[in-house]
A and B are shown apart, each in its own frame.
Chain A
Amino acid sequence: MALSADEVRHVARLARLALTDDEVDALAPQLSDILAYAEQVGEVAAQDVQPTTHPFALRDVTRPDEPRPSLPREDVLAAAPQAEQDRFAVPRIVAEEG
């Protein structure tokens, strides 16, 4: 399928990517080409085929429910772009009512 510039902007919003207009213009034909190629998978009749996500049969993996030490908090927060009061700091998520 051919993706329009507006569809590219919609997908970019879903993917949390702030694309420039130039990027949108470049991506629209590239994504269309790649999707047109990938759509070949639709030529295969596979209604009754089970999908594969792992070459071996997967089963639930659990461990004993025992508390264990995690990575030290300071080691984890050391990599954060911004931290305060032992927490990751982020900008406002819910807008103020106005």
Chain B
Amino acid sequence: MDVSALEVVEAHLQRILSVDGVDGEGDVWTAVAPEDLDQRDVHAYLHVTAAAARAHAEDVDRRRAAGEALGPFAGVPLALKDVLTMRGVPTTCGSRILEGWVPPYDATVTARLREADVVVLGKTNMDEFAMGSSTENSAYGPTRNPWDLGRVPGGSSGGSAAAVAGLLAPLAIGTDTGGSIRQPAALTGIVGAKPTYGTVSRYGLVAFASSLDQAGPFARTVEDAAQLQALVHGHDPLDSTSVTDAPPDLLATLRDGVDGLRIGVVTELHGEGYEPGVRRVFDQALERFERLGAKIVEVSLPHAGYGLPAYYLIAPSEASSNLARFDGVRYGLRVDAPTAEEMNAATRAAGFGPEVKRRIMIGTHALSSGYYDAYYLQASKVRTLIAQDFASAFEQADVLVSPTSPTVAFGLGDKTADPLAMYLNDVATVPASLAGIPALSLPAGTAEAPDAPSASLPVGLQIMAPLLRDDLMYRVGWAFEQDLGFTPIPAGDTAVEVV
């Protein structure tokens, strides 16, 4: 049966209208106000580019019928995190300070998607400026987890993850600074990857922590994620930190299996603090790898325990510097005041939410006179030691594995009162980010939540590979996925109904 690109796009638009809480009027649909959101709305999208998506799909169908050249992803819909610019479409970063801003240029990731004839359905909800692990820090209201609408989808790319998990898009782009692709992928039962740092351009990605931010793919299968990463990666002269090494072919060895590979279990990343259900699924994953012919070896990352404290100095420090550009002068919100300094301070006070203010304060303090050496510099040295730990571990194992998140999806509001408890959710994802290595999360099964013993919620398995060995990471993930045969579609009384 032939299906047109327009039919595929239209089906997704109709599903967005029925379960996402958008106002479907005009060319660009906008999410309804937070106070008007229904508790059954997923709220994955902030803006849906309905007219442009239909027009692009029609163009793809016309060119296909005429036998003209088409991009490799012609007509495939995708959801784009609202931290990446797209010419003519609002970019908010989940913040009031950028409300109404329409960027005059495309991010490199966006441009590469356009060239491949990917049809962008819209921009997805996120923790404000990508700061958070639950998507509850969005100024436009939280996104809900399609597996259980009372729970978070993880963060900060929770909108992109929920769009894929809730069948509101087959593919999405997110960004990962400390775990913001991998953790929401784990909590929504889909595949998400952080590529090797520097292999996907950051041009047009609104910066949070420049030495850690990296865009990457969300998909329902490992192969789709690898295909999407292959579409957007590669050197970009517009990003001075973009690596010039040619990226590996992610598909050439995808089906080679894990027989004979050494899979390293990181001692420090699966014991204390991990929910029993998560540990059980992880242990089963190790048994599966052994059955598939891999050798399980135990490796240690002795400085991994310092990863989270180092991260929560480095990331806010870089954020306090990057977010200085939001000063009420060139774009976004302005609150009028008699002097420039008062205008800056009043604008930033009105435009930033509590978590962003908290991190700007931490970072400003950590970089201020007398504290720089003890905080930012020391954390950057710890980062070196963690990278060295990984290099040693990769002499003993081809890839490393851990649970992606210490918990399954938690309830909306459960951790919002305690910022430090929220930060602890990133314990397993942050070390790879500090080292810049590629890491993938894929579904490993389901487990109960401690507060809901009858619940069945996704658990993610994290696969970490050496620098620029993203191909190996996908190969191991593919072998695991094929053997597990897990269908990542939420079902149940509370979940979004699949129509």
Interface residues of A (CB under 8 A from B): 3, 8, 11-20, 23, 27, 30-31, 33-35, 37-44, 46, 49-56, 58, 61, 63, 71-72, 75-76, 78-82, 88, 90-93, 95
Contact = CB atoms under 8 A, between A and B. Distances in A.
B349 A18 contact: yes
A82 B358 contact: no
Interface string B345-363: 1101100100001101110
27 contacts: A11-B361, A11-B368, A15-B348, A17-B352, A17-B357, A18-B345, A33-B419, A37-B309, A38-B313, A40-B309, A41-B313, A41-B375, A41-B382, A42-B374, A51-B380, A51-B381, A54-B197, A54-B211, A55-B387, A55-B435, A56-B245, A61-B240, A79-B103, A81-B329, A81-B332, A81-B334, A91-B337
Interface string B296-321: 00000001011001101100000010
A54 B241 contact: yes
Nearest to B343: A91
Question: Could you tell me the dominant secondary structure of chain B's interface residues?
Answer: helix
Interface of B: 101-105, 196-198, 211, 237, 240-241, 243, 245, 303, 305-306, 309-310, 312-313, 320, 324, 327-334, 336-346, 348-349, 352, 357-358, 360-362, 364-366, 368, 374-375, 377-385, 387, 419-420, 423, 434-437, 467
Contacts of B378: 41-42, 44, 46
A-B pairs, top 10 by smallest CB distance, nearest first, are A55-B436, A51-B380, A81-B334, A46-B381, A18-B345, A75-B104, A79-B331, A18-B349, A15-B364, A61-B240
Nearest to B302: A44
A18 to B, nearest CB: 4
B303 A92 contact: no
Nearest to A80: B330
A42 B383 CA distance: 13
A31 B365 contact: yes
B384 A78 contact: no
Contacts of B334: 81-82
Contacts of B339: 91-93, 95
